[in-house]
Amino acid sequence: MSRARVARRIATAAAFGGGGISLLGGAAVGLLLTEVRLAKRVVGGSDDIPPRADGRYGSAFAHRTGEPPLRLAFLGDSTAAGQGVHRARETPGALLASGLAAVAERPVKLVNVALPGAQSDDLDRQVSLLVDPAVPPPDVAVIMIGANDVTRRMPLVTSVRLLSEAVRRLRAAGTQVVVGTCPDLGSVEPVYQPLRWLARRASRQLAAAQTIAVVGLGGRTVSLGDLLGPEFEARPRELFGPDNYHPSAEGYATAAMAMLPTVCAVLGLWPESDERPDARRGEGFLPVAQAAVEAASEGGTEVTAAASAHGPRGRWALLKRRRRRPLSEEHPEPEAAVEGAT
The domain total for the chain is 1
Partners of 302 in beta bridges: 222, 320
Partners of 240 in beta bridges: 247
* Residue 105, in any domain of the structure: yes
* Residue 72, in any domain of the structure: yes
Distance CA 52, CA 73 (A): 13
Distance CA 275, CA 320 (A): 8
> Is the pLDDT at 327 greater than 50, yes or no?
no
The pTM of the whole model exceeds 0.85? no
* Residue 335, in any domain of the structure: no
pLDDT digits (tens, 9 = 90+) for 55-86: 999 988 877 767 889 999 999 998 898 887 88
* Residue 334, in any domain of the structure: no
Q: Which domain holds residue 118?
A: 3-329
pLDDT digits (tens, 9 = 90+) for 95-139: 999 999 999 999 999 999 999 889 999 999 999 999 988 889 999
Contact by Cβ (8 Å): 317, 303: yes
SS (H, E, C) the chain: CCHHHHHHHHHHHHHHCCCCCCCCCHHHHHHHHHHHHHHHCCCCCCCCCCCCCCEEECHHHHHHHCCCCEEEEEEECHHHHCCCCCCHHHCHHHHHHHHHHHHHCCCEEEEECCCCCCCHHHHHHHHHHHCCCCCCCCCEEEEECCHHHHHCCCCHHHHHHHHHHHHHHHHHCCCEEEEECCCCHHHCCCCCCCHHHHHHHHHHHHHHHHHHHHHHCCCEEECCCCCCCHHHHHCHHHHECCCCCCECHHHHHHHHHHHHHHHHHHCCCCCHHHCCCCHHHCCEEEEHHHHHHHHHCCCCEEEEEEEEEEECCEEEEEEEECCCCCHHHCCCCCCCCCCCCC
Q: List the catalytic residues.
A: 78, 243, 246
* Residue 274, in any domain of the structure: yes
* Residue 197, in any domain of the structure: yes
pLDDT digits (tens, 9 = 90+) for 19-63: 555 544 445 555 554 555 444 444 444 556 888 999 999 988 877
* Residue 340, in any domain of the structure: no
* Residue 342, in any domain of the structure: no
The CATH number of residue 136's host domain is 3.40.50.1110
pLDDT band at 142 (very low <50, low <70, confident <90, very high): very high
pLDDT band at 250 (very low <50, low <70, confident <90, very high): confident
